[in-house]
Amino acid sequence: MYARIRGSVAAGPWIAVTAAVIVAVLPLLGVGPYWQREIMLIGVYTLLCSGLNLSFGYANEMALGQVGMFAAGAYVTAILYNYGITDLALAILASIVLAALVGLLSGVPGLRLSHWSLAIVSFFLILLIPSITQILPTLTGGLLGLPGIIGPTLFGHALSNTGFYVVTVIVTAVWMLVFRNMIVSPFGSSLRVLGESSTLAESLGSSAFRLKVSAYVLGALPAGIAGALFAYLTGFVSPDSFTIDVLIAVLAATVVGGADSVWGAPLGAALLVLGPLQASSFQQYSIAVYGIFLLAVGVLFSGGVVGLVRAAGRRVSARFASPTRGPADPAPSITHVSLPIPGESLTVSGVKKSFAGLQALAGVELVAAAGQITAIIGANGAGKTTLLNTISGFLQADAGEVKLGDRLLTGAKPYRVARLGVGRTFQTPQIPKSMTVLQIAESGRLQKSSARLLASILRLPGFYRARRQDRQAALAALSFAGLVHLAGQDAGSLPLGTRRLLEVARCVAGAPNVLLLDEPAAGLDGDSLRDLGSLLQRTRGAGGTVVIVEHNVPFIMSLADNVFVMELGQVIASGPPETVRRDERVIDSYLGRRHRNGSKLMSPPAPVQAAVTTKSGEKDML
C-alpha cells in the first residue's frame, strides 16, 4: 500500500514536466499562431486559478482579489515598457513584488476582521481599478488604457512570438511545480487543516492568522506573473480587462476544475478558454452563465472535474482490488507498538472566568500528574469545556494561572500553548476530509516539523529529512492506536469511533506533554468504547498526562486514576474514583438523589446505568 502511495506521489511531477515539454515543442510540430495564443491564454488563467486555489480551495478563505493582483502585474509591466524597460524577467519580478504588496495591504485588514471581510475588501479592490487608473492617467492611460506593448526581451535578447510562447509555458510549468511542492509539504497540510477549522489549526500549533495571510499573499504571486504575461500577450492594458466578469470567470474555472486540487487549475483554465471565451457574443450573458455553472458544480460535483476523476479512480481501484484483501489493502492484523509519551504535571491554580457577569469558572484548582488519567465530570454547564478552553488558550482566564511543568501557559495564544506541549481533541471530531489517515496523523507534527517552506519548494535535503522524521512519528502513532492498517484510507470515510481514535493518534504523533480530551466517548458503541479505553490505558502506560472531560461516567470511572467533579464552575470533590463515587455532595449535584443508609450508593438513574467492562472483567457502574 505504501509503495503505491509513494509511487503515485513521485510520478505526479514527472507527468507534469513531460506534459509541459510536449506543450512547449508544439510549434515545432506545426501548431500555428492562433493555437499558440490559446495555449498562452490557458497558461495565464492557470496562474490566476492556481492562486485562487491556494487561498480559496485549500485555506477556505473567500479571497476574491486575484483580478486586482492580475491588474497590478499587467499595469506595472506596461508602465515599465513605456519607460523603455522591455525585459520580461524584470517585468515578472516587479509584478510579483507589487502583487504581493497589494495582497498584503488588502489581506491583513480583511483577515483581521472576519471570514467574510476578506471577500468584501478584496472584492472592492477590483471596483477601485478604474478609479486608480483615472487618478494616475499619465502612468496608466486612464480609462483609455496603455496600447502598443509589444516586443518583449529576455536578458537582452529579443523574443519572437514562438520564443514568448515557450517562455510562457515554462513559467507556468515552473509555478505549477512550486505550487505542487507547497501543497505536498507541512505548509500544505497546515492549509488543509486551516480549511477544516481555524480552531483546529491553532490547536496543532499554527497561527491561523499568519497562515491565512501567507496563503493570500502567496496566491497573489501567480496573479502578478499572469498580469505580466497578459500585457505582452494582448499588447494592450485597460480597466476593461480587469472587471467583475473576469473575477466570476476565474472563480467558475477554479471551482469547475477543482478548487482543492493542484491540477484543477489548468483543467479549469482550459475549459474556460476553449469554452465560454471562444464565443464573441458570450459577454452579455457571462454573469448568468457563470452563476448557473457555479450552482450546478456546487450541487452536482463539488470537487470539480478533478473530484470526478478521483472518484472514478477509487471506483476502478475498488473493482479490481483483490477480493481477499479489499480496496484499502489492510494489514492482516492490528498491532500496538510501544511509544514513549513525555508526560508532565499540569497545574491549574485559582482559575476564574466570567462571561457577561456569569461566572463560568470560580477559582478552579486541579492537578493532573504524569502517567495518570485525570477525569473531569459534572453536569452540563458545570464549566468543564470552559476549563479545557482556558487551559489550551482559546479562552483567557480572568484570574489564576495554568502551568505545564514549570512553563506558564496563562495568557499564551492557543498555537503557542500547543507548541508548549498541549495536545487537544474536541467534542466533535475535527478531521479534514481531504486528507488520508496517515496525513492526519502527520498533521500532529506540524508544530514540531523542521521542514521550512523554501526547503519544501526546492526539495532540499532538509525537507526529505524532516518528512522522514514526521512520517515515522505518524506511523508510530497510528500503530500505537491500532490504526496503521488504515494509513492510506480517506479520513472522511471513517466511522465516528475510528475518527475519535485518530484524533488521539494525531495528538500522540506530536509527543505532547499533556492530552486534553473533550468527551471522546460521546456517541460510541460498546466496541468503540473498548478500543478507546484500551488506547487511553496505553497512553497512560507510556507516561502520558491525560486530562479527559466525559459524560459517560461508568466508562471514565473504570479508567481514571483521579476524578474531579465540577458544579457551577467549582470543583466540589476530587480523588480516586471509589472516593468520589461515594461523596454525598457529588450524589446530590450529579445524580440528584442521596442514599443516607450506610455508605453504599443506591442504583443510579437509568441514563447513568450504562455498564462498561473493567480490567477485572466485571460490570462497573457509578
Q: What is the pLDDT of residues 530-580, one digit of tens each?
A: 999 999 999 999 999 999 999 888 899 999 999 999 999 999 999 999 899
H or E stretch at 198: helix 198-203
Give the pLDDT of residue 193: 93
- Choice among 323-337, 497-511, 530-544, 549-563 with the minimum mean pLDDT: 323-337
**Is the C-alpha dihedral spanning 268, 271, 276, 280 positive or negative?**
positive
Strands 157-158 and 612-613: unpaired
- Domains recognised in the chain with CATH numbers: 12-243 (no CATH), 346-432+508-620 (3.40.50.300)
From the list 271, 232, 278, the residue with the least C-alpha distance to 250 is: 271
Taking the C-alpha atoms of residue 207 and residue 217, their distance in angstroms, rounded to an integer, is: 15
Q: What is the pLDDT of residues 544-555, one digit of tens each?
A: 999 999 988 889
Task: Cite the DSSP H helix spans in 275-327.
Answer: 286-300, 304-320
Give the pLDDT of residue 588: 77
Confidence band (pLDDT; 50, 70, 90) for 113? Answer: low
Confidence band (pLDDT; 50, 70, 90) for 127? Answer: confident
Task: Report the SS3 class of residue 534.
Answer: helix
Q: Check pLDDT > 70 for residue 436.
A: yes
Residues in the chain: 622
Report whether 135 contacts 142 (CB < 8 A).
Answer: no
Q: Check pLDDT > 90 for residue 503.
A: yes
The DSSP-derived string for 331-346 is -SS------------E
* pLDDT > 70 fraction of the chain, expressed in percent and rounded: 82
Mean pLDDT of 489-509: 91
Going across the sheet that includes 358-368, the strands are 358-368, 346-355, 399-404, 407-408
What's at 355, amino acid-wise? F
Q: Check pLDDT > 80 for residue 160.
A: yes
Q: Check pLDDT > 80 for residue 406.
A: yes
**CB half-sphere exposure, 183, CA atoms < 13 A:** 27
Q: Check pLDDT > 60 for residue 592.
A: no
* pLDDT > 90 fraction of the chain, expressed in percent and rounded: 52
Give the pLDDT of residue 313: 66
Q: Check pLDDT > 50 for residue 620.
A: no
Confidence band (pLDDT; 50, 70, 90) for 379? Answer: confident
Give the pLDDT of residue 306: 76
Query: The C-alpha cell of 145 is what?
Result: 488604457
Report whether 78 contacts 276 (CB < 8 A).
Answer: no
- Choice among 69-73, 309-313, 397-401 with the minimum mean pLDDT: 309-313
- Choice among 450-459, 469-478, 594-603 with the minimum mean pLDDT: 594-603
As a whole number, the mean pLDDT across the chain is: 84
Give the pLDDT of residue 294: 61
- Choice among 15-19, 74-78, 396-400 with the minimum mean pLDDT: 15-19
Give the pLDDT of residue 604: 38
DSSP assignment letter at 58: I
Q: Phi and psi (nearest 5°) for 483?
A: -120, 5
Taking the C-alpha atoms of residue 373 and residue 595, their distance in angstroms, rounded to an integer, is: 28
Q: What is the pLDDT of residues 247-277, one digit of tens each?
A: 888 888 888 888 888 888 998 898 888 876 6
Report whether 337 contacts 516 (CB < 8 A).
Answer: no
Strand partners for 515: 423, 546
Task: Report the SS3 class of residue 330.
Answer: coil
Query: The C-alpha cell of 51 is what?
Result: 492562486
Confidence band (pLDDT; 50, 70, 90) for 439? Answer: very high
Mean pLDDT of 365-388: 93
Mean pLDDT of 497-502: 92
Mean pLDDT of 407-425: 94
Q: Check pLDDT > 80 for residue 526.
A: yes
Mean pLDDT of 398-410: 95
DSSP assignment letter at 386: H
Give the pLDDT of residue 603: 37
Strands 399-404 and 146-147: unpaired
17 vs 15 pLDDT, higher one: 17
Report whether 134 contacts 142 (CB < 8 A).
Answer: yes
